[in-house]
Amino acid sequence: MIQDHLFFAGINILLAWSVYIILLSGSLSFANGAFMAMGAYAAGVLTVKFGLPLIPALALAAIGTGLAGAVLAAPALRTRGVYLIMVTTGITFCVQVLLENLDYVGGVGGLGGMSGATLWHVYGLVALVGAGLWFLSRSHLQRMLDAIREDEQVAAALGINALYLKILCFGAGAALAALAGGLFAHYMAFIRPEHFGVLVSVYVVLYAVFGGVNNLWGPMLGAVALTLLPELIRGLASWRPLVFGTVIVIMLLVRPDGLLPWRSLTLRGRQR
Amino acid sequence: MTTAPLLEVRSLVKRFGGLQALDNLSFEVEQGEILGIIGPNGAGKTALINCVTGFYAPNDGQVLLRGENITGLPVHRIGRMGIARTFQNIRLFRRMSVLENVAAVARDWVRHPLRSLLARSPGTIRDQSMAILERMRLAAKADDLAGSLAYGEARRLEIARALATCPRLLFLDEPAAGMNEEETEALIGDIRGIGELVEGVVVVEHDIDLIRTLSTRLVAMNYGRRIAQGSAADVFADPQVIEAYLGRDDA
Amino acid sequence: MLAEQIINGIVLGSMYALVAIGYTLVFGVLDKLNFAHGETFMLGGFVAVAASALGAPLWVAFPCALLICGALGLVVELLSFRKFRSADAQVTAALSSLALGLIFIDLVQKYYGSEPVPLELPLAVRTATLSVAGIEIAQIKLAILAIAVLLMAGLHVLVNHTRVGRNIRAVAESPLAASLLGIHVRLVTQQTFVIASALAGIAGVMLAMRTGYAASDIGFTFGIKALAIMAIGGMGDLRGAMLGGILVGVVEALAVQFGFGKLGEIVVWILMILVLLVRPGGLFSTSSERRA
């Protein structure tokens, strides 16, 4: 049981970060559940039907989903704000319906036979991605992304290729969600399209929002807290969605930037 | 041999529905000049900047930078080719520090976003950015949040940020709007100083005093058309300009 | 039967339209998405279940849903929209109302469980049919259609010919200008939420009567599809929401008729994405310019 909870906490950290990466450039995606599904099914097919080992299967699934995410993003990112929320929600529904009707991967019945994902895989990836995000947060690239998030048009007017960077972030976020999905599939051993409904996308976004999206620790804390706390506090588990919803509503009212709201300066002037 | 003017605007047309924002507008910006563009509200001044910088696609006409056609290029391409701008309604990256506002658009990395991920020498960019802030009298505020700046400072930071892209041509959209006389005085000095860094400055204003002191040459607009150009004395003596300003209640 | 399927589609579509109208009213006035709206609609169905469990006659569910869901609209406005007024709080308000919707779902599931709850209808109501031009149509479908048409006509009168409607249109046009004219913007916002939510509640009752049960997940199936329909009809466009609802209802019914089954659902989403990308003003708008 404990192992299950830890595993899902790790998966949720990865998913919350996949939302965070896309949010770095100012776009909010409700399609990460769909990218998770694409990664889960792609990796599952590669190991079960083609006999690939887990790691290469995950890598291929991530690359494929990342590319698919970038291709979808190119037109979708013409919209922003709630319009983008709606477009990405639509993508999630489309992917789910398509999977339900794809007999090759079992349709509504689902796909089974995957195995091999362990806690080590998940937390190894968490460490790797965390290190990468930390490295990014100290880089000049993040400063450009911040500029895009603040005002995309102005950033573009000053020479930043905003669309390119936004598509890049979208692809990277999709790839990370796919990795999480692939690990999820090889832990659960059996997946069905309904595992990746729009609610998954919603929850993942709310993890990130709860923790705060101005630094990489916020989404991590949000995912861990909202995955593990209901399990740790006796009697809370059965009230999970209620607690979850209430916490988010209150949080947005009193602390709209999340639990860990700070954004550290990436560059300081000479005088200390 | 640079015979082509710094910027050439050729019979630019921009329509919004039935409204003609720019009507066959032509003018040139020469090397080293500070060109003032004046006109009453709604004359099409901001539409002009938006067309030149790629925010709007003009319906007809061309914009040439040193003879190269830049009409219809994406906004960021035009920015990289050397046209920078400020905004009439100040648009800073409000939740970033003053220094970050300038450093984020530093020319060297903007062109190579992925290479900037691996670059490990923030020192150079910081020094360059601080130098620009010093020039715009903002060095003391380097670590403050841009959103916390006073009005005049925010306007100066917009100019500093535009300078960080090492532009050839700088468009200033009503840089003195909302400033008091003292601030405007100081700003005039700042803009004159900038003239040494860039190949040309275009100042769009309807504050006549500022433009009279600052600009080496003037273009007057009304209803999207050029109604006069030349020295300040000539333009302000032009009957059409007088009518545009007296006929409508502005200032 | 093709004709029968088309009628089914129109009945279904009229319910889509009622829910979509709620999304579009709020979007028109506030420029914000109310993601709790689908759950308000879902609760309407459970109001019907509760009323019939208490032994009330069938029609009682309508005024009850009107009042309860209308009041719920006020709660949603207070918790998820009152504080997030500015234009850049658009996403925050969407997320907050989404979380509020999750609370509604869980509350219902706590009491009724997650399985659909049957709504007992008198046999006579369920089986009565009417023969029109040789087609047997269940009377209950006709009743639903009639109520929906009546409500939409009522809304049309309300919006176009009353003071409340005039104020709503003024705020939708420009909240600032409206407040300068002395219109109480907050009151108008609340009125909008009440109208939208009451309509959704009634649509919920009708769907429960049509299908014979209330389900806690329809907010995320039926309800969110109405959101897509609003976008297809044009965000903030009342007429578009009505036409879009009917169109999608008929298309779905025909997809079932021709054996596409659930694949038909994808049509709505693809259409929505295309409209948002290519024609943000909506499928039925005369200009292709985006509403601000």
For chain C, domain boundaries: 19-220
Evaluate whether A91 touches A76 at the Cβ level (below 8 Å): yes
Share of chain C above pLDDT 70, in %: 97
Of A78, A209, A256, the CB nearest to C277: A78
pLDDT at residue A270, as a whole number? 58
The mean predicted confidence, pLDDT, of chain C is 89
Task: List, in order of start, the domains of chain B with CATH numbers.
Answer: 7-247 (3.40.50.300)
ipTM of this complex prediction, to 2 decimal places: 0.91
* Chain A interface disruption, residue of B56, B101, B115, B117, most A CBs within 10 A: B117
Of A139, A158, A268, the CB nearest to B165: A158
The mean predicted confidence, pLDDT, of chain A is 92
Evaluate whether A42 touches A175 at the Cβ level (below 8 Å): no
* Chain B interface disruption, residue of A21, A154, A271, most B CBs within 10 A: A154
pLDDT band at residue A272 using 50, 70 and 90 as cut-offs: very low
Give the highest mean pLDDT range of A26-35, A222-231, C209-218: A26-35
pLDDT band at residue B2 using 50, 70 and 90 as cut-offs: low
pLDDT band at residue C114 using 50, 70 and 90 as cut-offs: confident
Chain A partners within 8 Å of C277 (Cβ): 75-76, 78-79, 87
pLDDT at residue B121, as a whole number? 65
Instruction: List pLDDT tens digits, range C37-81.
Output: 999 999 999 999 999 999 888 889 999 999 999 999 999 999 999
Instruction: List pLDDT tens digits, range B57-84.
Output: 999 999 999 999 999 899 999 999 999 9
pLDDT band at residue B250 using 50, 70 and 90 as cut-offs: very low
* Chain C nearest-CA residue for A80: C91
Q: Is A164 helix (H, G, I), strand (E, B) or coil?
A: helix
Q: Is the pLDDT of residue C127 over 50?
A: yes
Q: Is the pLDDT of residue B170 over 50?
A: yes
* Chain C interface disruption, residue of A92, A213, A244, A252, most C CBs within 10 A: A252
pLDDT at residue B248, as a whole number? 53
Average pLDDT over residues C280-290: 66
Q: Which one has a higher pLDDT value, C116 or C128?
A: C116
Q: Is the pLDDT of residue C207 over 60?
A: yes
- Three-state SS string across chain B, please? CCCCCCEEEEEEEEEECCEEEEEEEEEEECCCCEEEEECCCCCCHHHHHHHHCCCCCCCEEEEEECCEECCCCCHHHHHHHCEEECCCCCCCCCCCEHHHHHHCCCHHHHCCHHHHHHCCCHHHHHHHHHHHHHHCCCHHHCCCEHHHCCHHHHHHHHHHHHHCCCCCEEEEECCCCCCCHHHHHHHHHHHHHHCCCCCEEEEECCCHHHHHHHCCEEEEEECCEEEEEECHHHHHHCHHHHHHHHHCCCC
The mean predicted confidence, pLDDT, of chain B is 89
pLDDT at residue B251, as a whole number? 43
Chains that touch C (3 or more CB pairs under 8 A): A
Chain A residues 175-194 with CB within 8 Å of chain C: none
* Chain A interface disruption, residue of C82, C85, C106, most A CBs within 10 A: C106
Stretch among A48-52, C47-51, C86-90, C133-137 having the lowest mean pLDDT: C133-137
Q: Is the pLDDT of residue A187 over 70?
A: yes
Q: Is the pLDDT of residue C289 over 50?
A: no
Evaluate whether C209 touches C140 at the Cβ level (below 8 Å): yes
pLDDT band at residue C288 using 50, 70 and 90 as cut-offs: very low
pLDDT at residue C283, as a whole number? 84
Q: Is the pLDDT of residue B192 over 50?
A: yes
The strands making up B225-230's β-sheet, listed across from edge to edge, are B83-85, B169-173, B200-204, B34-38, B217-222, B225-230
Of A197, A202, A241, the CB nearest to C106: A241
Of A156, A266, A270, the CB nearest to B76: A156
* Chain A nearest-CA residue for B84: A158
Check CB contact of A261 with chain C, cutoff 8 Å: no
Q: Is the pLDDT of residue A79 over 90?
A: no
Q: Which residues of C touch A (CB under 8 A)?
A: 32-33, 79-80, 83-84, 90-92, 94-96, 98-103, 105-107, 109-110, 220, 224, 227-228, 231, 261-263, 265-266, 269-270, 272-273, 276-277, 280
Q: Is the pLDDT of residue B20 over 50?
A: yes
* Chain C nearest-CA residue for A28: C91
Q: Is the pLDDT of residue B200 over 70?
A: yes
* Chain C nearest-CA residue for A94: C266
* Chain C nearest-CA residue for A102: C263
Residue B13 C-alpha, separation from nearest chain A C-alpha, in angstroms: 21
Chain A residues 42-101 with CB within 8 Å of chain C: 75-76, 78-79, 81-83, 85-87, 89-91, 93-94, 97-98, 100-101
Instruction: List pLDDT tens digits, range C234-261.
Output: 988 899 999 999 999 998 888 888 877 7
pLDDT band at residue B149 using 50, 70 and 90 as cut-offs: very high
Residues sharing a CB contact under 8 Å with residue A234, sequence separation 6 or more, in sequence order: none
* Chain A nearest-CA residue for C79: A249
* Contact yes or no for C99 and A206 at CB 8 A: yes
End-to-end CA distance of chain A: 50
Q: Is the pLDDT of residue A271 over 60?
A: no
Q: Is the pLDDT of residue A93 over 80?
A: yes
Q: Is A120 helix (H, G, I), strand (E, B) or coil?
A: helix
Chain C partners within 8 Å of A85 (Cβ): 33, 91, 94
Tell me, rounded to whole angstroms, the distance of Cα C138 from its chain centroid. Answer: 23
pLDDT at residue B120, as a whole number? 65
pLDDT at residue A179, as a whole number? 98
Number of residue pairs across A and B with CB atoms under 8 Å? 127
C77/C100 Cα distance (integer angstroms): 11
Share of chain A above pLDDT 90, in %: 75
pLDDT band at residue C290 using 50, 70 and 90 as cut-offs: very low
pLDDT at residue B206, as a whole number? 75
